[in-house]
Amino acid sequence: MEVARWAAVLERIRGELEEWRTAHPQATLAEIEAAVEERLGLARAQLIEEVALASAAVQIGRGTERPSCPECGHVMERHGQQERQVTVAGNRAVRLRRGYARCPACGAGLFPPG
């Protein structure tokens, strides 16, 4: 994870909130909290996606090690990349693009968790 990039994201959020506060001088504490949460929610989803995709699990089926089928035990074959979209806290979408494997014997598919 690139620390400088995340420092820049937080600095951008701080700047956006400064502008928001100038435009909303009479905002209540609840409105301020909602504005902060809105911006942090976007950054949280980005960070979740980045951390999840940093896992070795995204490389399923690459190299010499291939997983066994959880259904029948046969060695699975790499079957390209697949993308899933999941919803995280704050109702934010996170896209996970990972290697996908399929069992040639029973047809079961494997999309790594995480």
**Looking at the whole model, is its pTM more than 0.75?**
no
Close Cβ partners of 49 (under 8 Å, ≥ 6 residues apart): 94, 95, 96
pLDDT tens for each residue of 43-95: 888 888 888 777 655 566 455 567 788 889 888 888 777 788 888 888 888 88
Domain of 65 in residue numbering reads as: 3-110
The H or E element containing residue 89 is none
- Structural domains in the chain (count): 1
DSSP structure class, residue 76? P
pLDDT tens for each residue of 3-33: 888 898 899 999 999 999 999 999 999 999 9
Close Cβ partners of 10 (under 8 Å, ≥ 6 residues apart): 43
